[in-house]
Amino acid sequence: MREQLSPFLREKLRGLPKEPGCYLMKNSGGRVIYVGKAKVLRSRVAHYFVPPQQLDRKTHALANEIADFEVLITATDLEALLLERTLIKHHKPHYNILLRDDKEYPYLRANFNEPWPRLERVRKRRDDGAKYLGPFGSPGQLKILMAAAMKIFPLIRCSRFEFANARRPCNYYHMKLCLGPCTLPVDAEVYRAMVQSAMDFIAGKNLEVLRQIKAQMAAAAAAEDYERAALYRDQIKAFAQVTEKQTVVTHDVADADVLGLSANAVKSSFHVLIIRDSRLIGGESYVLRSPVDTEQEAMTEFLLQYYDGRSLPAEVIVPYALDDLDTVRTALLSGHPEVNKLILQAPQRGTRVDLVAMAQKNAEYRLSEIDKQAEKQVIELQILQERLKLRRLPQRMECIDISNIQGTAIVASDVCFVGGKPAKELYRHYVITEVVGAPDDFASIREVVRRRLERGLRDQDLPDLLIIDGGKGQLSAAEGVLATFPALDMELISLAKSRADQSERRRSFIARGEQERSFERVFFPDRAAPLPLSPGTPEYRLMTQIRDEAHRFAITHHRKRRGKLSHQSDLEAIPGIGPKLRRVLLETFGGLDGLNRATLTELKAIKGLRESSAVALFSHLREK
């Protein structure tokens, strides 16, 4: 064992059980940083406390952070496998594979509890009785699949508010891309069946969907319902046009997902080839933090998360044999009671080996592209460090921007770039509370910088470089606050557009027929003259990108906040409309824009809204 092992941990290790179960590794702050499973907890957990030279690089990084651990005993290996998935989902440990980031991997949703369900892209799967597909590997992939489905099936495309307030069918109806149920008599069951067929199509069940449409067309023709038969005929034609480019992979593999994995010390790249009806219909790539597990364990973790809430194919093909293959298969089936059988295998010969090789190549290519991009970003950061003469590499940069219009709803944004890329989970908004009356950018900056530094000290979470959007005055305001934190070793600059007042440069632009451009300048606390940035250089791109992102983020929050204040002032001005009724109005009409379009009849129909108040509100909104 390690010499630094505390008596507390030694005693816990001696008392470990020999049963199967899960273990949770914790850091000095008590946070769970890794969740694992084991057939025998005692031997598996002890593995992390052997001398460092016996550990691989990734496991050594984890072992150095372990300050405590906890174990949960289970009755079987299967229970341990399922519990591990649940614990990973709950704790989101840093060293585990974390497949889903709801901001990145979308779902397809259709709520059949509504009178007229529609296909929707959503970010989270909720327990709301709706049907979901996904998550999908990227928003773009789902968008393409939905566009293809909409070409085949004439489904509702408008918003719920537009649907409820339609007076006549829109252009999609005349283009035969919608049945027009908003104003025309449409068989609700026929429409709902089309929504289900569209979901099956997106899930890859092409032949099954085509057989259903042909059967429905034949039934409609037999019943002499020629209008409906023509509808199905058009769907069959559109189906053929959309799917004609899909090529047959092999008749030996009809319904399968083929997985590839490529990993380095930092990241793991998974690629899934999706085969339906013997056709390759797409692929999904996931580049995730590299876990401390072996590749077999990493693949098991990925499978359990990938098929959590996603439909299972008849066959899942993996690049190598997994530990406890039968247990993994049973765990996958446990979340899909509608599936009776699943083939889970690592092929040794034939077509499936070739498909695995294809998946592996895609995984390797994606990982190499990520590595090349990371290398390029490091070089650009080094150039930025050299050009600005910074003391250290600005691995983490943050930029603060103030947004206000005529002194209303003053807010600030703090955006963060890590490794030269936006880290949106670290973005923060600030509502300015200390500036009352006329706007004061300097006072606003002082408040935001002070709050940011206080939080950074508390959470040990500070950037290498803090950028202020503005000139020398804004920089001085931030510098004054930073001086009150003498222990901080953080660099500070500001970025501002130069005043385009040099007549010679202006004449040069005009002579070339170009629009005059305002060059960027960087201000430093300890330098009298600012540093101009030349367009097209890495330092120009990085600095303007983070500044523009801070500006966008601040403006977006400012508009939301100003809109909220506008909502309140518009509705509070009307006698008889209290907080509860204001909330009902905004929810009913989908916000102030929808409320502005509401008719007097629709306002009078709101339960609890008196007729006099409805008339007053209608008049007030029309006067704006």
Kindly tell me if the per-residue pLDDT of 292 is higher than 80.
no
Kindly tell me if the per-residue pLDDT of 617 is higher than 90.
no
What is the arithmetic mean of pLDDT over 405-410?
A: 54
> For residue 591, which of 612, 571, 610, 619 has the smallest C-alpha distance?
571
The strand pair at 520-523 and 491-497 is best described as antiparallel
For residue 21, how many other CB atoms are within 10 A of its CB?
25
> Which of 83-87, 374-378, 474-478, 485-489 is predicted most confidently?
474-478
State the burial class of residue 444 (Cβ atoms within 10 Å of its Cβ: 0-12, 13-18, 19+): buried
Pairwise CA distance, residues 24 & 72, whole Å: 8
* pLDDT band (50, 70, 90) for residue 573: low
Residue pair 267/289 in contact (Cβ under 8 Å)? The answer is: yes
State residue 356's pLDDT score.
92
State residue 606's pLDDT score.
85
pLDDT tens-digit readout, 384-393 = 999 999 999 9
177-181, 271-275, 360-364, 505-509: least confident range: 505-509
Query: How does the average pLDDT of the chain come out, rounded?
Result: 82
State residue 242's pLDDT score.
64
Pairwise CA distance, residues 599 & 587, whole Å: 16
Residue pair 479/525 in contact (Cβ under 8 Å)? The answer is: yes
Kindly tell me if the per-residue pLDDT of 43 is higher than 50.
yes
Residue pair 346/303 in contact (Cβ under 8 Å)? The answer is: no
pLDDT tens-digit readout, 488-501 = 888 999 999 865 54
Pairwise CA distance, residues 464 & 52, whole Å: 31
For residue 356, how many other CB atoms are within 10 A of its CB?
20
Judged by DSSP in three states, 242 sits in helix
Q: H/E element holding 451?
A: helix 441-459
For residue 120, how many other CB atoms are within 10 A of its CB?
14
Phi, psi angle pair for 536, to nearest 5°: 95, -15
pLDDT tens-digit readout, 510-537 = 455 544 455 789 999 988 889 999 888 9
Contact partners, residue 176, CB within 8 Å, separation at least 6: 154, 234
Phi, psi angle pair for 134, to nearest 5°: 120, -170
Pairwise CA distance, residues 312 & 488, whole Å: 53
> What share of the chain has pLDDT > 90, as a percent?
23
Q: What are the beta bridge partners of residue 497?
A: 520
Phi, psi angle pair for 599, to nearest 5°: -85, 165
42-51, 64-73, 400-409: least confident range: 400-409
State residue 458's pLDDT score.
86
What is the arithmetic mean of pLDDT over 449-461?
A: 89
State residue 570's pLDDT score.
56
151-155, 413-417, 580-584, 606-610: least confident range: 580-584
What is the arithmetic mean of pLDDT over 46-60?
A: 81
**Residue 492: both structure tokens together:** 């500070």
State residue 407's pLDDT score.
47
Q: Which stretches of 215-266 are assigned E, i.e. beta strand?
A: 255-263
- Residue 529, CB-side half-sphere exposure with 13 Å CA sphere: 3
With vertex at residue 364, the alpha carbon angle to CA 359 and CA 367, rounded to the nearest 5 degrees, is: 125
What is the domain partition of the chain in residue ranges? 7-73, 107-243, 255-368, 396-547, 573-623
Contact partners, residue 194, CB within 8 Å, separation at least 6: 153, 154, 155
> Any idea which residue has 């997994």 for tokens?
322
Pairwise CA distance, residues 449 & 390, whole Å: 20
Higher per-residue confidence, 145 vs 567? 145
User: Residue 4 carries which side chain, given as an amino acid letter?
Assistant: Q
> What share of the chain has pLDDT > 70, as a percent?
86
State residue 417's pLDDT score.
94
State residue 195's pLDDT score.
92
State residue 245's pLDDT score.
56
Pairwise CA distance, residues 538 & 428, whole Å: 26
**Residue 189: both structure tokens together:** 């069951």
Pairwise CA distance, residues 563 & 362, whole Å: 46
Contact partners, residue 114, CB within 8 Å, separation at least 6: none
* pLDDT band (50, 70, 90) for residue 96: confident
**Residue 217: both structure tokens together:** 């067309």
CATH superfamily of 573-623: 5' to 3' exonuclease, C-terminal subdomain (1.10.150.20)
Residue pair 427/462 in contact (Cβ under 8 Å)? The answer is: no
* pLDDT band (50, 70, 90) for residue 167: confident
User: Residue 296 carries which side chain, given as an amino acid letter?
Assistant: Q
> Which of 42-56, 499-513, 592-606 is predicted most confidently?
42-56
Helix axis angle, 295-306 relative to 77-91, nearest 10°?
Answer: 70
Pairwise CA distance, residues 438 & 104, whole Å: 40
State residue 567's pLDDT score.
47
Phi, psi angle pair for 38, to nearest 5°: -155, 145
State the burial class of residue 110 (Cβ atoms within 10 Å of its Cβ: 0-12, 13-18, 19+): buried
State residue 55's pLDDT score.
79
User: Residue 441 carries which side chain, given as an amino acid letter?
Assistant: D
State residue 213's pLDDT score.
84
19-23, 187-191, 556-560: least confident range: 556-560
* pLDDT band (50, 70, 90) for residue 53: confident
Same fold, 255-368 and 396-547: yes
* pLDDT band (50, 70, 90) for residue 437: low
If you ran DSSP here, which 8-state letter would residue 553 be given? H
Kindly tell me if the per-residue pLDDT of 365 is higher than 50.
yes
* pLDDT band (50, 70, 90) for residue 557: low
State the burial class of residue 498 (Cβ atoms within 10 Å of its Cβ: 0-12, 13-18, 19+): middle
Pairwise CA distance, residues 431 & 478, whole Å: 17
Domain 255-368: which topology? Nucleotidyltransferase; domain 5 (3.30.420)
119-133, 269-283, 359-373, 400-414: least confident range: 400-414
State residue 503's pLDDT score.
46
For residue 288, how many other CB atoms are within 10 A of its CB?
20
Q: What are the beta bridge partners of residue 417?
A: 397, 422
If you ran DSSP here, which 8-state letter would residue 240 be given? H
State residue 23's pLDDT score.
93
Scanning 320-437, the segments in alpha helix (DSSP H) are: 325-334, 351-388
Kindly tell me if the per-residue pLDDT of 303 is higher than 50.
yes
Sign of CA dihedral 465, 469, 473, 477: negative
What is the arithmetic mean of pLDDT over 606-616?
A: 82
pLDDT tens-digit readout, 575-603 = 777 777 877 887 787 766 677 778 888 88
What is the arithmetic mean of pLDDT over 182-204?
A: 88
CATH of 396-547, one of 3.60.110.10, 3.40.50.620, 3.30.420.340, 1.10.357.10: 3.30.420.340
State residue 102's pLDDT score.
43
Q: Whole-model pTM? A: 0.61
Kindly tell me if the per-residue pLDDT of 171 is higher than 50.
yes
CATH of 7-73, one of 3.40.1440.10, 3.40.50.2000, 3.40.190.150, 3.20.20.70: 3.40.1440.10
State residue 152's pLDDT score.
84
What is the arithmetic mean of pLDDT over 182-205?
A: 87
